[in-house]
Structure formats: structure tokens, C-alpha cells
């Protein structure tokens, strides 16, 4: 049973390797009649693309969007909606020196053991480049959700140990870290730039807030909306944890502290993070993810080669010293796809 | 698209409400020829069942296992394997006084809004009793995995703010908290008993360790094994977060600290928690979950009724003051089902 | 990937063997708020059950319906709807003499080879008894479809070489063959009774007509509604072919003869059988299936045993001399389930 | 729940419209290590492409195969295998005169009613061109199956009322009709050419034979291999029926005639068509399909426009006067994909 499709009603299948011909995505289940253009998708692609600042990789990828199918006279037709992004700036020869080595923290070892064959050029299918297809699909999902006024915003809450204080959703795109606090952003940038110089990398935490979700999305008992969001986001490379609402803090709370009370205006608190019993409450959905430090670092590390010989490796190349700024649009995309999926599933379940 | 099935190859569907006739599970995809008895399943059921100690609910459920199909002369046949557990000790009238009220922290409000109808008797489908079917399936999955020497152990790592020190996997079943540290267990019990007396409840953290998993399980890019484990476990009521390996700590680490190096004996550390790129490395899979404090507490809380009128509610009844001891076998079950599913999927993908 | 679930939105999973404890079905995806009772389901069960007449098996099965979950105060709740039918009149010892023999025309050989284990008691999972679960689900699907005025009628069009002349849908339940022509029915009964006396069996053709289906059901390009109906019906034991509208006759027609023209009142003919491009046209859906003669006959036949030794076998027991009368409600059920599934899928695809 | 994916383990998703940028396919679940080249796929594409003879459409489509992903150094990698075929010779303006008319026999009416939007250029998604992706995937499936010696051959058994006498599988590619009898082929060609001149079209029957299938493929009770083959093939435009083995003839047979007996050399007859109880017996799988006459004919027909006005229409253009020659490779492809899918599923179900 293959694993490259996500979503049961709004269903995406991504394809492509970082140094092959192209990457892309098919959306199946997209309702007809939605106006969407390559330009709109391009805007989201540009948020994800490398080379945006000093805290992201200087690698260049044009990430030019081509809609291949599923559209007619500017509107979706209800047939598979395909977006393709041709690869450019591929330098496969740059990987010749590591083609027999397993880079620490990378999926080289596991792919080699699973498939018995390994596309060593820039991580192949395990590359972050695979997420380009997800972001293209996410842009379409966001457009669809916008018709229901649903909005999704993610941001760097913490990076390299520095945490945002007050959260201001309006300034996220104004700083290279996509942090929600300008002052914290400045500190983060300084710290990450310094780590980059040292050939090191930093982890962080990204928070995501989804507003105006109707009550009733989520299909218990397994396809609960938090379960599906967790799967969606943990499926991203480098994400090592997720928590909803009060999250791990909830484990330290008492029932008297954690329960969200209601009055006639609705919920008075949102420790649940907008989801109870796997179904949306109508409050904001709030979740946070743990992002590990980038695996590619320019320092000597110990590893083995495919024959089991012990080796030393330095991963030169062009890498993000901190993943959080570029993972922000990807997290938003996976959230948008999950919510879009459940919105369609919700519609199917109306009383007969 | 309905949501009561989990797993694509080892596929379980649960059914039943807490105060209906029965709860149960169908396993589809179970290979033929596995020896399994009602007694073996009963052992796991007994670990989950209420009334075990002072830190769990005094409610009685016999949870007697009946295998209804899929077995012949003591062995599985490859056809759907069904287990049914008839409900007993149901006291639906106990719920009459709350049938129009939304209990804080419970799924009453969301179910009512989603379905327009609400089985108010003991939470209906949203009840923890639904997990009985999961544990029955988990017992079968564990049996199947035991043929590959794979073992799964979960335990209370933290409860009511008290955390285990040294981890001893052999003492878990010896204390009522299912903690991995006897001394911490004693403190937890005292604290939880006191909270129970006060009509309050506590949260906690459960850790799960899976040993002897072969390298290569997991289907990128969406059905990564960590993504599927996350979905499996977040689909449990009361679980508000999950983290793998170093988890949220990874967000504070540097690349030089987090990367797991290899030598000819294998990985030297396991910050990855046994999974890289969504595929098992062969190291122990390690994850932790955040469990919220039980929603049912015997203290006055503010809520509304189905007509929007503001009300006060005290949830009397028989509830767990801390969920961690009884969630332990459920977490193990969901982990076993997920690993069994991926083991079968792995087999399908051998070179043609 | 297991195979005991059918339908993506209205999704049924059947379980159970003919001589085990019970057979049954779970419906997942059933919308909430549908009124349905055990009595209503029982009516359909009684149409399928054995022992109805001289042209069906004299075997007795009470087929008593128990709704185990998914219902509250007489209405569906949106949670898994489970029906169980306990087995009675099981005489497993009746099968002792054939437990090592492969009965000609039966699935004994293929099950034994596939699973390496064989529940020889009355065909186990391959028994026609498995369809009891399908009929229970079909009764629920029919109830749901009745809210949209959709009706489904199947009948014996031909049996033992005798074909109905004029079709009268109102007399189907009035004759033991469930034929749509009383005179032909009489002849069929005489012929089938004679074959039964000789220890032989007959095949036949069943036609099914679905009325008041809205235009637009069916999900190209693979889940076309005719493709799904074909799968649904070919999945029944003994069905060897299906054709829609003009069917195999279409292969002999010219374009000028086959095309259905339209005028302002709609389609003027219905060679298409109510489906074009895999989507319903709004005309009646019409299909026919080929039913093979019952495999169990009381005459000496050549076969082998599980060790490959050549043997002679006479299948004594209680069998239907012609399957068509009892397959009629099963075909209706599979059609109802398929249409219900597509109705829910259609709802999900409304413009955003 | 969308419908553009087929297969649960060897899973294909097709995309694209006849006059859009491209059509294509993603195969997910393809095992790693299979050698496959664009040239090998191209061979199958060329069998399907238009413009081959006087009995097929003179339309030109280059159908040039590009493998976009899933391959490395000539071998499959286990990641999604994508093939794209850019559209050429598109003449959308040729369709301007029919853009508001529903062509008889075409899916114009149903697509318009379902989606509320219609890509009128050459049938859009409902075009036979969509099958190009299926054939590309079929070529890969055939390659994979060839490693197990499984071969698949389809041919025109009957066209325009002329039926093959003796079947000779070796001459199929030697005549324009892809018939299995040279003499019948000549007659067919004459008849079809004459019909083409008259602006008319003919239907036919295609038979498919699959050899060397191992015993045990097929997943009862719904994913029986005949049920899945039926779905696979009925999902093709223009196919109105399918029958296995004795097929509709079985409905006229007695049990004494239809049952396939066994001796120590195996089955002595194959009325079952290689499948019993939905599982392969090891005999040849044999099925036949009914193909309707091509809907596009150059004769005046009655129809309506999108506003309900009655109109006359003549479908000029470049169309196949008989579909059977070009549907042969498509039927083989769908059969290959279905068998490949079940081969992978079979592997997953080995005893634990």
C-alpha cells in the first residue's frame, strides 16, 4: 500500500525528486468552479522557495508553477488538478563525494535499507524540495477555504532558543525568520547567522492558528481532525513533535484548570486548542510543532559508508541554518489541505 | 468518507457505544495461521479495564472477550477477525440529569453540533470504552509482532507533576500508576488519591518504547511511520501532544548536538527516536504523549445546555482521577496496530 | 490490503463464516437522523433467507437481526451501525466427509491454496451466508435512498433457459422464482423442480432497475458508477457477467442505432442504461447479470483431495437448485449500497 | 471522495484533458529495482495511438513518453513513478460549433450536469485520450509481471457482427483490427471501412487472456479479482459489459455442465475463467467485454443544447469507426494493472 497520497476527499499525491526532472502534485476531489491562477499559487511558492534571506539557504530554485490539468477558462473543473514545477539549478555532481556515505540526520541510511537503491542527489525523494508540491496544493486549499472565511497563519514561535514574547500576526512576513515578534526576530536572526558562520544549525518551534473553522469538522474515532493534522504535519521532514492547545503543559494541569467552560457567548478559554473529541469546537485551532536543527552542517561528523566502513563527513553545500522560516508556509499548506479535506467530508455527512 | 477504520493493510474498524449493547472491533488483513485465543486477548483487556485500583475508576466492566469470526481450530484464517465485548454495568439513568448539558472538557458539545443527535449515556461513542476494541485488536497485533520478536512497552513517565527518575521497564505492572520508577509511583499514587478526594484530576506523560523493529518500515512521504503513529495516538481521547526521540527538546538543540552519528556497530545515539525520513532505523522507536487531566471532576463548573442557557454542573459518577495508568495498554495497542500495519505494507513492497 | 470493505463514503464491512458464531456487517458513514428499526431490516432478510419454497434450499436459518450499535432512540447517530446475525441450524459435522475434498465449482481449492488453512464447514467465508450482512446493509441503504425517492427492483429475467416475456414489476414477490412474468415463472418452477429431483441445478439471468436516480452520480474516471456497480455485483458468488443498458447487444449495433437522442423532454431511448461517461443521466439505471448454475449438485463428480489424490464426490446437503430467486434481494442490496455511496460522494463535491 | 485513482497497492492516478497541456499518470507502490525505459513504454503507447490504419481515427497524437520521476539510473526507486504525455495536434477551435450542444452518446450532458462547467474541447477529461496514462502505467505493470512470467493478450473477437473463428494469438498485431483470425479480420476491415464512409460506426467484442497467474490472487469478499477486473474494464469509455469464462452462457447451463472437474493434472475445463470465489485457480483468466459503437458519427442526430433547445448535430471530426483495435492495448493495460495490484497485495498477506 503506497504512501504518497494524503487526504480522503481533498486528496493530494505528490511526486518527484530534488534532482530529477520535476516535482509536483495532483489534487483529486477539488470541487469545480473555484477561480485559481498560476499567479496565486506562485505567491505561496515564493514564500517557500530558497534564497530569500541570510537565514535560509542561498540555493536558487525558480519554482515556477505550471497548471497542467483540471482548469478551464480560469476555473477548476472538478477533474484532477495537476501542478508541475520543473527543477533547475540542479547540481547532481555536487553530491558525487557523498554518494556512498550516509549523512548523519539524513534519510540516506533508511532509504538505502528500505529500497536497496538510493538516489543520492540532494536526498532524492526525501528532500525538502518535495514540499513544493504540498505548498502548491496548499495554495489551492487556502483559496477554497477563503470562500468560507477560514484563514491559516503559522509563524516561528521560537528559534535557536529565543522565544517570541507578544504575538503579532501582522508582522510575520516582515522579518526573515517569520517570527511573530519583531524584537525576538532580530535576536533570532543574529543568533542563526552566527551559527551559520560556524557551520552549525538551530531548531525551533512553529505555531499555527486556524480561524473561523465551523463547528463539527472531524470524523471520529480515527480520523479526528487533530489526529489528521498530526499526521499531516509529522509527515514533514524535521518535525519531531506536535501539541494542541495547552499541549504538553496540559500534562501538568489539574482538571479544574484545564477544562474550558462555556457561557452563552461560547467557550471562555481554549485549552483544548479548538478541538474536543476530535471535532472542531468553533474556537481557533492552535497547534505547535517541534522542528529539529537542520541535519546538514559544515562540521566534521562520524558516519559509515554503504559497505559499513567508518568515515568522516562534512556536508558542504547550500543549506538552511534554521528550517523554521521556510517551514512556515509548508505547515500552513498541510493545515489547509487537512481542513479542506474535512470540510468536504463534513458536507458528505449531511442528514440524508 | 467515514473515520472508524485505521490501518491500510492491518486494518481495524471499531464499533459501539458505552451504553449500547456492545463494543468491538473487526481486524481485516490479519494473515492466516496465527495462533490466538480469547484468553490471550483477555489478558490485555484486563490491563485496560476499570476498577483495578484506587487511582482508576471504580466502575465495573467485565470486558469479556468473544471472538466472533476469523478463527478456525485456534488459528486465524485470513478472513475478518471480529471481537465483541458486551456492555454490562450500564447505568444510563445515571446520565439523565446531564442529558441536556454540555459537560466541560467532554465531546458533548461537538457531537451534538456535528450530528444533531447525541447519545448522552456515558459519552456514547466518545467514551473511553470505545478503546476496548482497540485493545482487543492490539493484543492480536502484539501476538503477530511477537513472531518477529518486536516488543512494545508503554508506561507513565509523569503524572500530577511527578516524574520518574530512573526507568525500570520490569516494574511497570507492579504499581497502580504503571510508572517505570517505584518511588515516583508511590508519590504519584498519594497525589492522585488526594486529588480524587478533592474531586479533581491530574494529567501526565506516557512514554512508549518499541524494540526490535526491522529497518525499513514506513511509507514516505505521507505514511511515514512517525506520521502514522502520531495519528494513531492523537486519535485517543485526552491525548494533546506527541513527540519522538528528543522531541520538543530538539527545538532547542544545535545540529552538532542532535545528529545521530554512526559507527560500524550502528547508531551511537538515538535523538531521532528510531525514525529518520519516516522510515525505521532499527533503533528503538521512542515517543511520548501528553495526557490531559480527566474532564469529569466532582466540582461545580460553568457550562450551557443545548438551548444555550447558562448552567452549573457537577459531574458525579465513577471516573479515573488520572488517565495514564489505563491509557498505557491502549497506547501500546495503537503502537502495535501501526507497526503491524507497516510490517504488512513492507512485505508488499519487495522487489518484483 | 484487505478486501472486506466496500464503498468509500457509505462503507460496509462484512464479517463471519457460515458455521461460526455469527455473520454481520458494519456500516460506516451512515448519516445521522435516519429512522430505521430491526423490523425493517428483518423484512429484507426474510426475502434472502433459505427455506422459502420448492426452488430454494430447505435449509433453515432464522437470520434474526440485532442492531448492536449506531442507533439511539430509533434513529441513526452517525457512528458505525452494526448488525449481527447469529448462526443457527449449523451442522458442521455434515461436512466431515468432504473436509479434505475440493468440491467442483466451489472455492475450496482456491481458499486452501491462498490461505493454507480452510474452514471446510459449509464453505466458511465463501458461503452465500456471507451475503446476509450485505442484505442487512442494503436494507439500511434502501431506507436512506427512499428519502430521495430512489427505488431499486431486481428480478429473475431468465432461469433454466426460460425467459420472461412481458415485464411486470408488481408480481415479482408473488412467485417463488421472483420472475417478472407469472407464466414464465410457472414454467421455470416446473423445470427447476425437475432438475432438483435429478440432483442437478440451473443458471439464470437477473435484471435490476433503479429509478429516480438524480443526474450526476459517479466519479470519473475510475469510480464511474457503472464500474462500481460492476464490482459490487461481480463480487457475489456465482455471478459471471454483467451488462448495462443494451449491453452485449451493443457490440452488434451501429452508431446510428445505439446513440440515445435527446429532445426537450429528455432522452428518447436508454441504450446507455442510465449511465454515460460513468455518470448517471437521470434515466433508469438498468443492468443484467449472469448467474451460474449452483455448484453443489447431488451427482457423482471427479475431483481431487488436498493431497492431490483423484476422488469422486457427491455433494449431498441442502442447496438451492437455482440461485436467482434468492440472489434478487442481494443484487438489490449491492445496488442500493453503491448508489448510497455515490449519493454521499456527490454531496461532498458541491462547489465550495 | 475522488475517483481518479485505481488500485490499492499498485496504485495509479491519471490526470489531464484531451486538449489541455498534457495527460499522464502517477504509479504509486511500484517496487524498487525494476528496469524500465521510456522506449519500452513507448512501444505500448504506439499500439494505442491514433492514425494507425484505415479502421482507426486519422487524428495524430505523438504520445511521446517522458518519465518525470521515480527512476534512477534506469531502475525504479520505489517512489512515485510519473509519466507525462504532452498534447499536440490539439485543435480546440474545431469544437467551437458544438460547445453548447450535447453530442448523443457522449458524456457532454452528464459532465455538464455534474460539474456545472464543461471543457467542451474534444470531450475534455471524458476523452479516450485519458487512457494514454493508463497504457503508460500498463506498460510498467506488464514489465513487472513479466518477471513472474505472467502474460496478457487481448484481441478483437468480434466487430461489426463478424466473429473470429479459430483463435490465433500470434497474428493479432498483424492486422489493423487486432483480430485473432486473419480471415475474419479482412471481413471486419471491409465492413468497418464501408461504415466509416457512410459516417457510421460499429461495436464489437474484445477477449482477454492472462496466462501464468499464480493460484491465490484476489481478496474476498469484495476485492475479488474478477470484481476488480470488472471495475477496471467497465471504467473504460464505451465498455457496456463484461463476462468471465463461460460468462452469460453459464446462465443457460446446468450444474453438471458448468462445474470444472479436477484430476491430478489440475482443472480439466475452465468454465470459471480462471477464478473461483474471487481467487485465481492457476488456469488462464479469460474475460470478454462488449464495446459499443463509437458515439461520434457523421450523420444528423437529434439533441438539445445547454438551454434545452432542440437541435440537430453532425459530429464531424476525426473519429474511430470501430473502437476495438485501439481498445485492445488499453484492456491489456487495465488487466495488467489489476493483476500487478493483487500480486503486491498477495505478498503482503503471507503468513506472519
Cell of C18: 457460515
Most confident option among C200-209, D48-57, D90-99: C200-209
Rounded to 5°, the CA angle A330-A333-A337 comes to: 145
Mean pLDDT of C146-166: 97
Mean pLDDT of B198-220: 97
Task: Label residue D49 by pLDDT band (50, 70, 90).
Answer: confident
| Nearest CB neighbour to B302, from listed A263, A273, A310 | A263
What does DSSP say about strands A66-69 and A81-86: parallel, antiparallel, or unpaired? antiparallel
Cβ(B309)–Cβ(D306) under 8 Å? no
Task: Label residue B352 by pLDDT band (50, 70, 90).
Answer: very low
What does DSSP say about strands C239-244 and C22-28: parallel, antiparallel, or unpaired? unpaired
Task: Label residue B91 by pLDDT band (50, 70, 90).
Answer: low
Q: In Å, how far is B289's CA from the nearest CA of chain C?
A: 27
What does DSSP say about strands A162-163 and A151-159: parallel, antiparallel, or unpaired? antiparallel
Is D254 in CB contact (< 8 Å) with chain A?
Answer: no
CA–CA gap between residue B339 and residue B348 (Å, rounded): 14
Please indicate whether, in this complex, the C-beta atoms of D293 and C224 are within 8 angstroms of each other.
Answer: no
More confident residue, C242 or A50: C242
pLDDT at C163 over 70: yes
Please indicate whether, in this complex, the C-beta atoms of A252 and B203 are within 8 angstroms of each other.
Answer: yes
More confident residue, B14 or C124: B14
The phi, psi pair for D331, rounded to 5°, reads -65, -45
Sheet (strand B239-244) strand order: A162-163, A151-159, A204-211, A285-291, A239-244, B239-244, B285-291, B204-211, B151-159, B162-163
pLDDT at D90: 57
Q: In Å, how far is B69's CA from the nearest CA of chain D?
A: 14
Helix (H, G, I), strand (E, B) or coil at B114: helix
What per-residue string of b and e applies to B189-207 under the rule 16 or more CB within 10 Å gives b? Answer: bebbbebbeebbbbbbbbb
CA–CA gap between residue B40 and residue B34 (Å, rounded): 12
| Nearest CB neighbour to B264, from listed A125, A280, A310 | A310
pLDDT at B90: 57
Cis check: omega of the bond before D105, within 30 degrees of 0: no
| Nearest CB neighbour to A33, from listed D78, D84, D116 | D116
pLDDT at A350: 64
pLDDT at C351: 46
pLDDT at B110: 95
Task: Label residue D117 by pLDDT band (50, 70, 90).
Answer: confident
Closest CA to D341 of D10, D25, D5, D13: D10
Low-confidence winner among A106-110, B124-128, C314-318, C337-341 (lowest mean pLDDT): C314-318
Q: What percent of chain B stands above pLDDT 90? A: 85
pLDDT at D89: 61
Q: How far is CA A11 from CA A5, A140, D134, in A?
A: 7, 12, 20
Side-chain half-sphere exposure of C123, counting CA atoms within 13 A: 23
Low-confidence winner among B53-57, B305-309, D7-11 (lowest mean pLDDT): B53-57
pLDDT at B88 over 90: no
- In B65-204, which ranges are continuous DSSP H helix? 108-115, 131-146, 182-197
pLDDT at A94: 66
Task: Label residue B200 by pLDDT band (50, 70, 90).
Answer: very high
pLDDT at D17 over 80: yes
Please indicate whether, in this complex, the C-beta atoms of B227 and A231 are within 8 angstroms of each other.
Answer: yes
At B329, which helix (H) or strand (E)?
helix B324-348
pLDDT at A252: 97
The DSSP 8-state label assigned to residue D167 in this structure reads -
Chain A residues in contact with D79 by the CB 8 A cut-off are: 4, 15, 17, 119, 124-125
Mean pLDDT of D101-115: 94
Range of the domain at C325: 5-348
Per DSSP (E only), the strands in chain C are 5-6, 11-16, 22-28, 66-69, 71-72, 75-76, 81-86, 151-159, 162-163, 204-211, 239-244, 262-263, 266-267, 275-276, 279-280, 285-291, 301-304, 310-313
| Nearest CB neighbour to D78, from listed B147, B344, B349 | B349
CA–CA gap between residue C291 and residue C305 (Å, rounded): 27
CA–CA gap between residue D110 and residue C213 (Å, rounded): 13
What does DSSP say about strands D22-28 and D11-16: parallel, antiparallel, or unpaired? antiparallel
DSSP string over A186-231? HHHHHHHHHHHHTT--B-EEEEEEEESPPTT--BTTTB-HHHHHHH
**How many domains, in total, are found in chain D?**
1
More confident residue, D61 or C207: C207
CA–CA gap between residue C293 and residue B252 (Å, rounded): 71
Please indicate whether, in this complex, the C-beta atoms of C254 and D200 are within 8 angstroms of each other.
Answer: yes
Q: How far is CA B254 from CA A58, A159, A199, A203, A302, in A?
A: 20, 10, 10, 7, 16
CA–CA gap between residue A171 and residue A165 (Å, rounded): 13
Is D33 in CB contact (< 8 Å) with chain C?
Answer: no
**pLDDT tens by residue, C176-205:** 999 999 999 999 999 999 999 999 999 999
**pLDDT tens by residue, C79-109:** 999 999 999 865 656 677 788 999 999 999 9
pLDDT at C58: 74
pLDDT at C245 over 90: yes
Q: Which residues face D221 on adjacent strands?
A: C3
Task: Label residue C279 by pLDDT band (50, 70, 90).
Answer: very high
CA–CA gap between residue A299 and residue A301 (Å, rounded): 6
pLDDT at A91: 60
ipTM over 0.85: yes
pLDDT at A88: 82
Cβ(C144)–Cβ(C34) under 8 Å? yes
More confident residue, A352 or D18: D18
Mean pLDDT of B20-35: 96
Task: Label residue C352 by pLDDT band (50, 70, 90).
Answer: very low
pLDDT at C295 over 80: yes
Cell of A6: 494524503
Cβ(C46)–Cβ(C37) under 8 Å? no
At D228, which helix (H) or strand (E)?
helix D225-234
CA–CA gap between residue C236 and residue D19 (Å, rounded): 40
Task: Label residue B19 by pLDDT band (50, 70, 90).
Answer: confident
When scoring B18, B69, B75, B120 by the number of chain C Cβ atoms within 10 A, the one with the most, hence best to mutate, is B69
Mean pLDDT of C40-52: 91
Tell me which residues of chain A have a pLDDT lower than 50: 351-352
Q: In Å, how far is C247's CA from the nearest CA of chain A?
A: 28
Cell of C44: 429484507
Mean pLDDT of B297-304: 94
Q: Which residues, including other chains, have CB under 8 Å from residue D62's CB and lie 6 or more apart?
A: D49, D88, D89
| Nearest CB neighbour to C110, from listed D2, D116, D277 | D277
Side-chain half-sphere exposure of B46, counting CA atoms within 13 A: 7
**pLDDT tens by residue, D276-298:** 999 999 999 999 999 999 999 99
CA–CA gap between residue B225 and residue A225 (Å, rounded): 19
Quote the mean pLDDT of chain B. Answer: 93
CATH number, domain with residue B105: 3.60.150.10
pTM, entire model: 0.97
CA–CA gap between residue B184 and residue B175 (Å, rounded): 10
**pLDDT tens by residue, D218-242:** 999 999 999 999 999 999 999 999 9
pLDDT at B284: 98
CA–CA gap between residue C67 and residue C24 (Å, rounded): 10
Is A345 in CB contact (< 8 Å) with chain C?
Answer: yes
Quote the mean pLDDT of chain C. Answer: 93
Please indicate whether, in this complex, the C-beta atoms of D148 and B31 are within 8 angstroms of each other.
Answer: no
pLDDT at B94: 66
Please indicate whether, in this complex, the C-beta atoms of D13 and A80 are within 8 angstroms of each other.
Answer: yes
Amino acid at each position: 500500500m503506497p504512501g504518497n497520497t494524503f487526504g480522503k476527499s481533498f486528496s493530494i499525491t505528490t511526486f518527484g525528486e530534488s534532482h530529477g526532472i520535476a516535482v509536483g502534485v495532483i489534487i483529486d476531489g477539488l470541487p469545480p468552479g473555484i477561480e485559481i491562477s498560476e499567479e496565486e499559487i506562485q505567491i505561496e511558492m515564493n514564500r517557500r522557495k530558497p534564497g530569500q534571506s541570510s537565514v535560509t539557504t542561498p540555493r536558487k530554485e525558480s519554482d515556477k508553477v505550471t497548471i497542467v490539468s483540471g482548469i478551464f477558462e480560469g476555473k477548476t473543473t472538478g477533474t484532477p488538478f495537476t501542478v508541475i514545477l520543473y527543477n533547475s539549478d540542479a547540481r547532481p555532481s555536487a553530491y558525487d563525494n557523498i554518494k556512498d556515505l550516509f549523512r548523519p540526520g539524513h534519510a540516506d541510511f533508511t532509504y538505502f535499507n528500505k529500497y536497496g537503491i538510493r538516489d543520492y542527489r540532494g536526498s532524492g525523494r526525501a528532500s525538502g524540495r518535495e514540499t513544493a508540491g504540498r505548498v502548491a496544493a496548499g495554495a489551492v486549499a487556502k483559496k477554497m477555504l477563503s470562500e468560507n472565511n477560514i484563514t491559516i497563519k503559522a509563524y516561528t514561535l521560537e528559534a535557536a532558543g529565543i522565544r517570541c514574547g507578544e504575538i503579532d500576526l501582522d508582522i510575520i512576513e516582515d522579518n526573515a525568520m517569520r517570527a511573530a515578534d519583531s524584537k525576538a526576530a532580530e535576536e533570532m536572526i543574529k543568533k542563526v547567522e552566527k551559527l551559520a558562520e560556524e557551520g552549525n544549525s538551530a531548531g525551533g518551534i512553529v505555531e499555527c492558528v486556524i480561524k473561523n473553522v465551523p463547528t463539527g469538522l472531524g470524523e471520529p474515532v480515527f480520523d479526528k481532525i487533530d489526529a489528521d493534522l498530526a499526521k499531516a504535519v509529522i509527515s514533514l521532514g524535521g518535525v519531531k513533535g506536535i501539541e494542541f492547545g495547552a499541549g504538553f503543559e496540559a500534562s501538568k494541569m489539574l482538571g479544574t484548570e484545564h477544562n474550558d467552560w462555556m457561557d452563552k457567548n461560547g467557550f471562555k478559554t481554549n485549552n483544548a486548542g479548538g478541538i474536543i473529541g476530535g471535532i472542531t469546537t468553533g474556537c481557533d485551532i492552535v497547534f505547535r510543532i517541534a522542528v529539529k536543527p537542520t541535519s546538514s552542517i559544515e562540521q566534521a561528523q562520524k558516519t559509515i559508508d554503504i559497505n559499513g566502513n567508518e568515515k568522516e563527513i562534512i556536508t558542504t553545500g547550500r543549506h538552511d541554518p534554521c528550517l523554521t522560516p521556510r517551514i512556515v508556509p509548508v505547515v500552513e499548506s498541510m493545515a489547509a489541505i487537512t481542513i479542506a479535506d474535512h470540510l468536504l467530508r463534513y458536507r458528505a455527512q449531511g442528514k440524508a
